[in-house]
Chain A
């Protein structure tokens, strides 16, 4: 059984093909890295997986369940979570409230207009526990607007982890971080248990290669190389794309 599978996935914006016959099979618990130059179609691929973009043709399967026609919001309920390359938080709310919103997303309580949210101790405690996982529990009551960029990156990951996903998509989680912050976030991602399958897009090869077990190289929307770290690094197409050799 695969955790995430893409079969012959295609997407075009007008005459521009951004995803072209992409096949991908990620095993449960795997750490998969997707790399490629700017414009290769990496984030588009994530948007197709989550349903934020509709596929032109092909299939998206999560644990062999066909998600292709399933609404984006339903995919979260089926165990798919993601982070965004451009940080997408609720800046006026506290860190804890951001995580509570994530927890509420999968709860029927989100429809309740009668109870006071701040009196739901269970949600607040779960939010604090999630923030503790990413080392931010001490900032739980601070508004997002008053936190650093690196802390916001970790809140992004906390919001995804709060939903106990089966497959986690990380879109450039190290973007804009300092060297120290990158190490911290890498340690955080490395600490995610194996029952969560992780697919990550990243540009920082040094950090990303430490994380990845298998790597997929995208170029102009196509999978051009796929294999283990060593295989991909040694592959002449990888060197051609990245070094112009």
Chain B
């Protein structure tokens, strides 16, 4: 049953350009996939490691800036992509070493500070980042000779990367390392006493998370063919965190649902509702109040409750009061 559902979902996603038709909505779908990859990467830290971060847009942006800089320096897309991911993973290692010195609110504040440093560099180091004007690239890559110029072509390429990301997350979560990471989230002291290196486990998870943020950053660069300081702003990190929390942390589908929700509000609802930010905020409040565990686990809970209501209940057993 589960495999059939997954197969149908993949089929629906693969054929989306045919049944959507309009290239604008295909582009919106590509954006959803890009931000879903970012949210999946962020979920490794927020959901599975219990480390709430507000600096991931910095890593997302570092990949985009590094990719754009390497492409503009005359390197091939392959070299630029590999180079950008290496730079991102190296930056993630720096983020992790510094941020993992703190826990709880301290960890959050360090990630905010690191994200703001990246934003400051993007905004002020004009010789490197072109400041407020941002950096443009002239073309998208053509992997295996396939053109990604059209909305459909780019969507399918993004879909492939998205499916690889989902598969990687599914394998990661079900692995012994994934179990160890969840253990460090729930009982770090016990995990240490059991022989686990809690710091190193979190550090490696941070690298994995940063890698997928970098992949999303590269997709974002190719989608827009442009990156600016706005990409690495604190509000972008908050938006990514909102995707994860609204969809449901520590679930595979939650971050995807959260990314879809935010992009629908930003790119579709904003065309009809002037105060779309207000509506998004209201939706978030409703989710927190009625489904504190997030949209996906909350919907599953409500579904189980509804099914239990529809099931015929056995008649109550009449008990004879015991004599006293």
A residues lining the B interface (CB < 8 Å): 50, 52, 72-74, 76-77, 81-82, 84, 88-92, 97, 100-102, 104-107, 109-118, 120, 159, 163
Chain B residue at minimal CB-CB distance from A106: B195
B11 close to A (CB within 8 Å): no
Q: B192 touching A104 by the CB < 8 A rule?
A: no
Instruction: List the A side residues contacting B177 at CB < 8 Å.
Output: 110-113
Q: State which residues 265-317 of B face A: CB under 8 Å.
A: none
Task: Find out whether the CB atom of B176 lies under 8 angstroms from the CB atom of A104.
Answer: yes
Beyond A92-B186, A163-B195, 20 additional contacts (C-beta under 8 Å) are A52-B193, A72-B192, A72-B193, A76-B195, A77-B195, A88-B190, A90-B183, A91-B186, A97-B179, A101-B183, A101-B194, A110-B177, A111-B177, A112-B176, A113-B171, A114-B175, A116-B171, A116-B175, A117-B174, A117-B178
**B194 and A105 contact, CB distance less than 8 A:** yes
Once A88-B187, A88-B190, A105-B191 are accepted as A-B contacts, the answer to whether A115 and B196 lie under 8 Å apart by CB is no
Chain B 13-60 interface residues, beta-carbon cutoff 8 Å to A: none
Residues of B within 8 A of A77 (CB): 195
Q: C-beta contact mask, B154-193 vs A, less than 8 Å → 1, else 0? A: 0000000000000000011011111110110011011111
Q: How far is the CB of B199 from chain A (nearest CB, A)?
A: 10
Chain B residues near A163: list those with CB within 8 A. Answer: 194-195
**Which residues of B are found within 8 Å of A116, using beta-carbon distances?**
171, 174-175
> Can you report 21 residue pairs joining A to B where beta carbons are below 8 Å apart?
A72-B192, A72-B193, A73-B192, A73-B193, A73-B196, A73-B198, A74-B195, A81-B193, A88-B190, A90-B183, A104-B179, A106-B195, A110-B177, A112-B176, A112-B177, A113-B177, A114-B175, A115-B175, A115-B176, A116-B171, A163-B195
CA distance A84 to B187 in the complex (A): 12
Those 7 A-B pairs whose CB atoms lie nearest each other, nearest first: A105-B194, A76-B195, A105-B195, A113-B177, A88-B190, A113-B175, A116-B174
Cα of A24 to Cα of B155 in the assembled complex, Å = 69
Contact of B197 with A by CB under 8 A: yes
- The minimal Cβ–Cβ distance linking B234 to chain A, given in whole angstroms, is 31
Closest beta carbon of chain B to A100's beta carbon, Å? 7
Residues of A within 8 A of B187 (CB): 88-90
Q: Which residue of A lies closest to B187 (CB)?
A: A88
Given A88-B189, A101-B179, A101-B183, A110–B196 Cβ distance below 8 Å? yes
- Which B residues are in CB contact (< 8 Å) with A111? 176-177, 180, 204
- Residues of chain A within 8 A (CB-CB) of B189 are 52, 88
Residue in B176, B178, B195 whose CB lies within 8 Å of A73: B195
| B interface with A by C-beta (< 8 Å) | 171-172, 174-180, 182-183, 186-187, 189-198, 204, 208
Contacts of B194 in A (CB 8 A): 73, 76, 101-102, 105-106, 159, 163
The interface residues of chain B lying within 8 Å CB-to-CB of A104 are 176, 179-180
Does the CB pair B180–A110 fall under 8 Å? yes
B192, A84: Cβ atoms under 8 Å?
Answer: no
Bound Cα distance from A111 to B184, whole angstroms:
13
B44 to chain A, nearest CB (A): 11
User: Are A82 and B179 in contact, with the CB atoms below 8 A?
Assistant: no
| B101 to A: closest C-beta gap in Å | 17
Taken together as a complex, chains A and B put the C-alpha atoms of A104 and B182 apart, in Å, by 13
Question: In the complex, which residue of chain B has the Cβ closest to the Cβ of A120?
Answer: B176
Residues of the A chain whose Cβ atoms lie less than 8 Å from the Cβ of B208: 113
| Chain A: minimal CB distance from B93 (Å) | 17
A86 to B172, CA, bound (A): 31
Flag if A117 contacts B179 (CB, 8 Å).
yes
Determine whether the beta carbon of A84 is less than 8 Å from that of B190. Answer: yes
Contact B172 A113 (CB under 8 A): yes
Q: Which residues of A contact B190 (CB under 8 A)?
A: 84, 88-90
Rounded to whole angstroms, the CA-CA distance of A105 and B194 in the bound complex is 5
Contact at B176–A110, with CB atoms within 8 Å? yes
Q: Which of B172, B192, B193, B194 has the most A CB atoms < 10 Å from its CB?
A: B193
Chain A residues near B191 (CB-CB < 8 A): 101, 105
CB distance from A108 to the nearest CB of B (A): 10
Expressed in whole angstroms, the Cα–Cα distance for A106 and B193 within the complex equals 11
Complex Cα gap A74–B189 (Å) = 14
Nearest chain B CB to A149's CB is how many angstroms away? 17
Q: How far is the CB of A34 from chain B (nearest CB, A)?
A: 18
The contact of B192 among A52, A89, A106, by CB within 8 Å, is: A52
What residues of chain B lie closer than 8 Å to A159, measured between beta carbons? Answer: 194
- Alpha-carbon separation in the docked complex, A113 to B172 (Å): 5
Distance (whole angstroms) from the CB of B311 to the closest CB of chain A = 21
Whether A114 lies near B171 (C-beta < 8 A) is yes
Partner of A117, one of B176, B196, B204: B176
Q: Which residues of B contact A101 (CB under 8 A)?
A: 179-180, 183, 191, 194
CA distance A109 to B179 in the complex (A): 11
Q: Please, how many angstroms separate the alpha-carbon atoms of A112 and B171 in the complex?
A: 10
- Cα–Cα, bound, A74→B197 (Å): 9
**How many Å from the CB of A147 to the closest CB on chain B?**
16
Please name all residues of chain A whose beta carbon is closer than 8 Å to the beta carbon of B178 when the two chains form the complex: 113, 117
Q: Which residues of B contact A117 (CB under 8 A)?
A: 174-176, 178-179
